[in-house]
């Protein structure tokens, strides 16, 4: 068994070695928390985006997409509250001169208590064997119950202090818990201060007339300011949604954990406009719907959980995260927020334009309420990649590295391999590539022995290898090898397209969540 830290290191080096993710501008030593996607990464990212877009936009008659600009009028961010309230609490260690997010230090402390719980559970499971009942154990064992209570108390107090902007109490909590700088071990902390996360830039040629702008910290505001444009031109009736995917930028204090927390990243967001008073039902609806989308990918039901927020963002009346079990523990993957009418009302006030909906059935105008689903594309990428990477012990005492990506998301769907580079086999293999590439991303590979080529495709995450051999010349059949089971079957060349489609088609996967 390899530990979580080693597993995470393996994910990062695998991502680089196989053309998924590179550090940005690496020849200049890279740029902190900025990454580039390589030839396989871009395909995986596009496939995740397409899977989301299909489920959220194309499968819903009442949801449409837009693509708003990254630059927005600066008043947008005053209205949205980001200029005044989009802050993280930071704290510096006076000895190491390192800067941390105060809330993350406290959360990491709680995560350590959680790992103690995991250890207790593992010990008890070993002791009791088949008779072990985890549910009963974690609710009755005094030590575990005590740990849970402690986590709860800490997080509640932190939520309360942050909510009230009582930064002195956040520092007091860090001191009471005796949290030390993870790098130096020092407990010599500065006061906690607020730090705005938006990146500023300038628009215009001359210094005098240049306008101060921000790079958008979320895509959502591009949807709010276009609410009436879309509603009117699309004759949309409430309830309806507007979705978009695109870049967002945050000057994260502590950007770390690879592509989990980046300074430039991509979001996939949907704002669902509803009648005021119906937000509770819609909150539940979108929680269920989004979880089903995640589960449809088959990455393990036990790897997801909801985390309801204690501390609500300035715009929300309810909020939950869908957390995923990353190699460094359960962390937020997607946020679902009931944003009330906060944003539209603010934009009405700051722009002086009405942003209301006339409800013909009720014969009245109102500012709609909004239910938001917001997922980081890069974070989803990390969830998929880290979950897929497996080292398997084989029967012949060798190991293989395999990327068990959900086939619908895999960058390359099939590799076509001539057994040898002669006797007309490459020509047949290339013809198969020509036929299949209209529908699937496929590659041709003739280098090295076929066993090595299989291993290479396993590590690349390619679900199928198709081998052309001498029998193909006689009967137009090929061997199809399945990545996950290594099972091999003989099939007719004519059947390949249908066979692959049955395994990689979005429809087949999305039907599991019946969107």
How far apart CA 410 and CA 488 sit, in angstroms, is: 19
What is the closest distance, in whole angstroms, from the C-beta atom of residue 52 to ligand GAP in the complex? 12
What is the closest distance, in whole angstroms, from the C-beta atom of residue 333 to ligand GAP in the complex? 6
How far apart CA 250 and CA 265 sit, in angstroms, is: 8
Specify the residue, 74 or 81, whose C-beta has the smaller distance to ligand GAP. 81
What is the closest distance, in whole angstroms, from the C-beta atom of residue 508 to ligand GAP in the complex? 26
Q: How far is CA 131 from the centre of its chain?
A: 37
Sites of contact with ligand GAP (CB under 6 A) = 218, 220, 250, 252, 261-262, 265, 267, 269, 332-335, 372, 374-376, 378-379
Q: Pick from 98, 60, 316, 315: which is nearest to 188 by CA?
A: 98
What is the closest distance, in whole angstroms, from the C-beta atom of residue 101 to ligand GAP in the complex? 11
Specify the residue, 147 or 324, whose C-beta has the smaller distance to ligand GAP. 324
Specify the residue, 321 or 469, whose C-beta has the smaller distance to ligand GAP. 321
Residue 103 has φ and ψ, to the nearest 5°, of -65, -35
Specify the residue, 171 or 250, whose C-beta has the smaller distance to ligand GAP. 250
> How many alpha carbons lie under 13 Å from residue 25 in its C-beta half-sphere?
7
Q: How far is CA 502 from the centre of its chain?
A: 26
What is the closest distance, in whole angstroms, from the C-beta atom of residue 473 to ligand GAP in the complex? 51
Residue 37 has φ and ψ, to the nearest 5°, of -95, 135
How far apart CA 97 and CA 92 sit, in angstroms, is: 6
Specify the residue, 95 or 323, whose C-beta has the smaller distance to ligand GAP. 323
What is the closest distance, in whole angstroms, from the C-beta atom of residue 317 to ligand GAP in the complex? 14
Specify the residue, 297 or 375, whose C-beta has the smaller distance to ligand GAP. 375
Specify the residue, 386 or 460, whose C-beta has the smaller distance to ligand GAP. 386
Token pair of 17, please?
């070695």
List all residues 6 or more positions away from 389 whose beta carbon is below 8 Å from its beta carbon: 7, 10, 11, 14, 401, 402, 403
What is the closest distance, in whole angstroms, from the C-beta atom of residue 220 to ligand GAP in the complex? 4
Token pair of 504, please?
């990689």
What is the closest distance, in whole angstroms, from the C-beta atom of residue 327 to ligand GAP in the complex? 16
What is the closest distance, in whole angstroms, from the C-beta atom of residue 73 to ligand GAP in the complex? 18
What is the closest distance, in whole angstroms, from the C-beta atom of residue 343 to ligand GAP in the complex? 10
How far apart CA 394 and CA 397 sit, in angstroms, is: 6
> How many alpha carbons lie under 13 Å from residue 115 in its C-beta half-sphere?
12
How far apart CA 121 and CA 148 sit, in angstroms, is: 13
Specify the residue, 56 or 262, whose C-beta has the smaller distance to ligand GAP. 262
State the CB neighbour count (10 A cutoff) for residue 228: 16
Residue at shortest CB range from ligand GAP: 376
> How many alpha carbons lie under 13 Å from residue 491 in its C-beta half-sphere?
18
How far apart CA 107 and CA 205 sit, in angstroms, is: 45
Specify the residue, 179 or 370, whose C-beta has the smaller distance to ligand GAP. 370
The total number of residues shown for the chain amounts to 515
> In a 3-state reduction of DSSP, which class is residue 391?
strand
> In a 3-state reduction of DSSP, which class is residue 36?
strand
DSSP per residue, 409-452: T-S-SEEEEESSS-TTHHHHHHHHHHHHTTTS-EEE--SS-HHH
Specify the residue, 372 or 445, whose C-beta has the smaller distance to ligand GAP. 372
- Give the strand pairing for 464-468 and 414-418: parallel
What is the closest distance, in whole angstroms, from the C-beta atom of residue 380 to ligand GAP in the complex? 7
Specify the residue, 340 or 374, whose C-beta has the smaller distance to ligand GAP. 374
């Amino acid at each position: 068994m390899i530990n979580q830290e080693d597993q995470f290191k393996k994910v990062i080096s695998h991502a680089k070695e196989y053309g998924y993710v590179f550090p940005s501008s690496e020849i200049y030593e890279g740029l902190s928390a900025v990454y580039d996607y390589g030839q396989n990464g871009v395909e995986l990212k596009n496939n995740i985006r397409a899977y989301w877009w299909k489920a959220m936009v194309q499968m819903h008659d009442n949801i449409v997409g837009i693509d708003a600009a990254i630059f927005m009028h600066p008043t947008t961010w005053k209205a949205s509250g980001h200029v005044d309230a989009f802050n993280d609490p930071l704290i510096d260690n006076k000895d190491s001169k390192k800067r941390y997010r105060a809330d993350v230090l406290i959360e990491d402390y709680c995560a350590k208590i959680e790992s103690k719980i995991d250890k207790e559970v593992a010990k008890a499971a070993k002791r009791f064997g088949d008779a072990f009942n985890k549910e009963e154990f974690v609710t009755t064992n005094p030590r575990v119950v005590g740990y849970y209570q402690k986590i709860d108390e800490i997080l509640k107090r932190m939520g309360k202090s942050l909510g009230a902007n009582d930064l002195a109490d956040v520092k007091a909590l860090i001191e009471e818990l005796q949290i030390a700088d993870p790098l130096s071990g020092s407990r010599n902390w500065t006061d906690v201060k607020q730090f705005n996360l938006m990146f500023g830039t300038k628009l215009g040629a001359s210094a005098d007339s240049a306008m101060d702008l921000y790079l958008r910290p979320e895509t959502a505001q591009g949807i709010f300011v276009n609410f009436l444009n879309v509603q009117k031109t699309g004759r949309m009736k409430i309830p309806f949604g507007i979705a978009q995917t695109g870049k967002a930028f945050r000057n994260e204090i502590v950007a770390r954990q690879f592509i989990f927390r980046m300074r430039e990243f991509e979001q996939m967001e949907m704002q669902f406009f509803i009648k005021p008073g119906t937000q509770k039902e819609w909150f539940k609806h979108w929680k269920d719907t989004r979880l089903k989308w995640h589960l449809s990918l088959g990455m393990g039901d036990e790897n997801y959980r909801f985390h309801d927020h204690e501390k609500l963002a300035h715009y929300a009346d309810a909020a939950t995260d869908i957390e995923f079990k990353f190699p460094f523990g359960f962390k937020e993957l997607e946020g679902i927020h009931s944003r009330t009418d906060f944003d539209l009302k603010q934009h009405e006030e700051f722009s002086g334009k009405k942003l209301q909906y006339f409800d013909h059935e009720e014969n009245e105008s109102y500012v709609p309420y909004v239910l938001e689903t917001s997922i980081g594309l890069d974070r989803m990428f990390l969830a998929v990649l880290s979950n897929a990477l497996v080292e398997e012990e084989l029967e012949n005492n060798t190991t293989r590295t395999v990327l068990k990506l959900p086939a619908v998301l895999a960058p390359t769907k099939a590799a076509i391999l001539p057994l040898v580079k002669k006797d007309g086999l490459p020509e047949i293999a290339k013809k198969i590539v020509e036929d299949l590439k209209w529908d699937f991303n496929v590659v041709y590979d003739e280098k090295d022995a076929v066993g090595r080529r299989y291993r290479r495709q396993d590590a690349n995450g390619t679900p199928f290898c198709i081998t052309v051999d001498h029998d193909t010349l006689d009967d137009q059949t090929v061997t199809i090898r399945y990545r996950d089971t290594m099972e091999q079957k003989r099939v007719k060349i004519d059947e390949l397209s249908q066979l692959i489609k049955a395994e990689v088609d979005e429809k087949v996967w999305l039907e599991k969540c019946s969107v």
